[in-house]
Copies of this chain bind each other. A is one copy, B any other.
Amino acid sequence: MKTLNEIHLSNLELDSLFHPRTIAVYGASENTKKIGYLQLQALLNGRFEGEIYPIHPSSKEIAGLPCYQSVKEVPNKVDLAILCVNINHVENCLIECGKSGVKAAIIFASGYSEIGEAGIKAQNRLKEIADRYNIRVIGPNCVGLLNTTNGLMGTFSPGLTNIPLGKRREVGFVTQSGAFGVLTYIAAAQHGLTFNYFVSVGNEVDVGFSDVIEYMLNDPNTTIASGYLEGEKNPGKLRELAKHALEINKPIVIMKSGRSSAGSRAAESHTGSLAGADKIYDGFFKQTGIVRADDYDDIISFSKLFLSNKLPAGRNTVIVTSSGGRGINEADRCESYGLNIHPLSDKVKSEIEKNIPSYASALNPIDLTAAASITHPELYIEPLKVLINDPETDIIIFSEFPMDWDENTPLLQEFVELCKSSDKLIFVTTFPLEGMSIPKGVQYLEDNGIPVITGNLNPIRSLAKLVEYSETYEKAKTQEQAHEREVNKQNIQPLLTRNQTLSESQSSEILSQYGIQTTIQAVADTETNAVKIANEIGYPVVLKIDSPDIPHKTEVDGIRLNITSDQELKEAFQEIYENAKEHCPSANIHGISVQQMLPEGVEVIVGVTNDPTFGPVIMFGLGGVFVEVFKDVSFRVAPITRQDAISMMEELRGHELLKGVRNKKAADKEAIIDVLLKVSALIQEYQDDIQEIDINPLIVYEKGITAADALIVTK
């Protein structure tokens, strides 16, 4: 992680963007159709706290402000320049800013890297100017930047500027899509959540997605750093930031799109072809504790729940409702997202029953019936009084709450006081609200830290994400103390011939060096030699063709299993040799590998691929048809921790197979963890040399584990 000084520096730099004292607006205009007009009005209407200087070649005054021909002429030092000019003028303006010591700029113009070759060149020139003059730039091809706490409405988009500001502004949002960002900003505002920072990073010529995340994490007034991501250019930085974020309990919540692009990349080996980019992002988010939002509504709902400042201590959830049907639906949803609708204890149940009518139900969900919503609203209070003292309950959801109550309703006041007295997460779900107006009762609840979330925002899905975040946060706290076992670096450089698919024996040798058990084997060049080796190893044995030119041995019928005698071996030796010669006449054949025939166990697979974004990525899965048909695999970006290895196993749909089913013994999980960590260390040390690792199958026993086959591809 960065030192405090570095953080301070980085913050100082971006402060000119988020907290400028002076702003110059290039292209300011009184023509209502120009974005320079919209931008200037946005700053004026937003009541920007600092000075605004319109820049225009001829006008003396715009919108009542004195106008300047260039930023050079502005009497004060300009912190931020907003360039509302045509692409043809951008470079000159930026140079002018640089020469005048402007610290930061927003560039709206499009026509850069998004249009291809010519645009990339133009964008590179911007980069060069920004670097030369040390100007921090947002854009180009962006919607702009808002700081809703100081009136900095650095945008021309009416979708952003016409939205009333909510009270609480402590969630930041950065987006790689302008339009999707605007949509999210509006939707959040409709639900009473106004982002403190909104940043459309556009083409990221300078300030990138994770730079903004970093700024928000370091900003004392930001509680959550959220964003919409299409592709992270600096995952290493994001990983470091995520670690820091967990330490300081500021969630990073990201909606990552492009799931359907998964599987589009071709890759030579099996392992590779399974590594859809999206599954890697999934693994990356899991291992870093970044909350993955499924849609913009998750960003809103998660934020609202987190802002209550009550992380749930567990998954036990009680639903209190006036609609039986709604209760069943919420319960269905809770269970489908892994929350627990636990049966209430007899004690709790009977205490609740004392104060609710006989036709109401004190089971979980607690159904107060329509009586609560129509004639007896006081019923809502009764179960709450009991539940806040129930040690088995972690979360209480009030579904279908009366919306005509307000801050003067004594019952709502009592409800609020009870909620505030408890450290359980308590929130309200309601019917969708209409438009931009927040009912008074809702505002009163939210002011008092009780989130109110409308049904169509899928609050239960977000709740499940909050519970997961809470668990990850707790684990991270304990993990800090836990000592990760070190895997020592081994010198395998001599084994890594460049740009090769290594043979099985070469690959196995490398794994052996890292302490991974492989089959006893030796390569025989003649039949006689093979018999000798087989007798040394002891029957039954396996024969496999050994050639760097034949990575997929079954395809050339180059494997014979369970050979039990010299005679059988001789025949198999000839067959394999002939098959290989027939299928790959030009292959360089090292010989035939004679190996011990491993006893049966649970077959798993461990692989490493090189992802263009993330670098080396580790894969784990169940072998055979489970990987081929069910694609039951998990990914993590290297290096991984012990905890990552454990969750890679637990995440598999078929993870029960490792526990032993159908009279089989449980597989040695520690041995699997050990291999995963060793492979992680190996690829971490040699990521410049190794392109791919494929251990398939890796056979796990009740005690111990052995790689039955291995394939390493070098760079």
Contacts and interface: CB of A to CB of B under 8 A. Distances in A.
A350 interface: no
B325 A180 contact: yes
A115 B358 contact: yes
Given A115-B359, A179-B370, A359-B111, A257 B661 contact: no
A183 B258 contact: no
Contacts of A179: 322-326, 370, 373, 400
Given A359-B111, A434-B434, A178 B370 contact: yes
B456 A297 contact: yes
Interface stretch (A132-140, A215-223, A416-424, A650-658): A650-658
A525 interface: no
A187 interface: yes
16 contacts: A115-B358, A177-B326, A179-B370, A181-B325, A183-B326, A183-B400, A186-B431, A190-B432, A190-B434, A230-B325, A230-B328, A260-B331, A434-B436, A456-B456, A625-B654, A629-B654
Contacts of A29: none
B625 A662 contact: yes
Contacts of A662: 624-625, 628
A414 interface: no
A494 interface: no
A371 to B, nearest CB: 9
A397 interface: no
A528 to B, nearest CB: 31
Contacts of A329: 180, 257, 295
Interface in A174-207: 175-181, 183, 186-187, 190
A180 to B, nearest CB: 3
Interface of A: 110-111, 114-115, 175-181, 183, 186-187, 190, 228, 230, 257-260, 295, 297, 322-326, 328-329, 331-332, 334-336, 341, 358-359, 369-370, 373, 400, 431-432, 434-436, 455-457, 554, 624-625, 628-630, 653-654, 656-657, 661-663
A425 B258 CA distance: 25
A183 B326 CA distance: 9
A3 B175 CA distance: 62
Contact of A258 (B326, B328, B653): B328
Contacts of A434: 190, 434-436
A605 to B, nearest CB: 13
A432 B654 CA distance: 40
A48 to B, nearest CB: 23
B630 A653 contact: yes
A295 B333 CA distance: 10
A335 B436 CA distance: 33
A65 to B, nearest CB: 25
Contacts of A661: 625, 628-629
A455 B457 CA distance: 11
A656 to B, nearest CB: 5
A664 to B, nearest CB: 9
A460 B455 CA distance: 19
Contacts of A187: 431-432
Contacts of A259: 332, 335-336
Given A177-B328, A629-B656, 5 more contacts: A175-B325, A180-B329, A260-B332, A297-B456, A628-B661
A415 B180 CA distance: 24
Contacts of A435: 434-435
A625 B657 contact: yes
Nearest to A190: B432
**A110, A177, A179, A341: which has the most chain B beta carbons within 10 Å?**
A179
Contacts of A328: 177, 230, 257-258
B177 A324 contact: yes
Contacts of A370: 178-179
B628 A630 contact: no
A555 to B, nearest CB: 10
Contact of A332 (B257, B400, B457, B663): B257
A373 B114 CA distance: 18
A583 to B, nearest CB: 15
A370 to B, nearest CB: 6
Contacts of A628: 656, 661-662
**A230, A359, A624, A661: which has the most chain B beta carbons within 10 Å?**
A359
